[in-house]
């Protein structure tokens, strides 16, 4: 694989996880997954993890995998047939949001409040979760994994800045 191919395949591979994570942030809200319950005096997950975010995230992420599978069918970039891509999209989306939940669980146990940043971990949680769950169907080669881990914090900074410029976010980080 040459460098360009690694970059294109990595982006195509991780897209459903990015879509899941962004959809949860855009459309989330309402009932908390932990139903407001606490553990040892601290919230189990916190108000930043909601059922609506989880369900819509998985839905849009899976749809992204399906659409990708449809358009890549028969090209050198196809990961598999339509069913395979849809299922991979589901695993990547669910994994992304599960990774995010595990991170919030750990943050609360450490006494970090909802929304307070935990640098690097806040950015990599969903990619790590997506790769772990996605590996049930497909584990990318090492050079793709390395690129994804390098790319994600940079993409995060860029997207947050974009959100700030578009006035969707109050702060540029
Ligand atoms: N979100 C959601 N449901 C999820 C995941 C995310 O509703 N399962 C929404 C919430 O509105 C959340 C936002 O996406 O505030 C951003 O997600 P994230 O940064 O992961 O949550 P934080 O609010 O920062 O909370 P935490 O400290 O637990 O990470
Ligand atoms: Mg956060």
Convert the pLDDT of each residue in 142-170 to its tens digit. 999 999 999 988 888 888 888 889 887 77
Q: Which atom of ligand 1 is nearest to the CA of 29?
A: 7
With a 6 Å cutoff on the Cβ, whether 99 touches ligand 1 is no
Q: Considering only the C-alpha atoms of the chain, give the largest distance between any 2 of them, rounded to a whole number of Å.
A: 54
Question: Which residue owns the Cα nearest ligand 1 atom 22?
Answer: 115
Question: Which residue owns the Cα nearest ligand 1 atom 5?
Answer: 49
With a 6 Å cutoff on the Cβ, whether 125 touches ligand 1 is no
Q: Give the pLDDT band (50/70/90) at residue 58.
A: very high
With a 6 Å cutoff on the Cβ, whether 42 touches ligand 1 is no
Using CB atoms within 10 Å of the CB of residue 169, give its burial: 0 to 12 exposed, 13 to 18 middle, 19+ buried: middle
> pTM for the complete prediction?
0.94
């Amino acid at each position: 694989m040459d460098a360009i191919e690694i970059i294109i395949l990595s982006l195509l591979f991780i897209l459903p996880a990015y879509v899941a994570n962004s959809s949860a942030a855009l459309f989330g809200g309402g009932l908390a997954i932990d139903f407001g319950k606490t553990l040892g005096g601290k919230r189990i997950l916190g108000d930043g993890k909601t059922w609506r975010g989880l369900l819509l995230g998985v839905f849009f992420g899976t749809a992204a995998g399906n659409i990708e599978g449809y358009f890549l069918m028969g090209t050198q970039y196809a990961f598999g047939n339509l069913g395979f891509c849809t299922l991979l999209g589901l695993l990547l989306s669910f994994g992304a949001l599960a990774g995010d939940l595990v991170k919030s669980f750990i943050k609360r146990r450490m006494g970090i409040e909802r929304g307070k940043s935990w640098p690097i971990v806040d950015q990599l949680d969903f990619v790590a979760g997506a790769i772990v769950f996605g590996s049930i169907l497909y584990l990318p080669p090492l050079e793709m994994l390395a690129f994804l881990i390098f790319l994600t914090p940079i993409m995060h900074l860029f997207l947050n800045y974009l959100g700030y410029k578009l006035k969707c976010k109050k702060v540029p980080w």
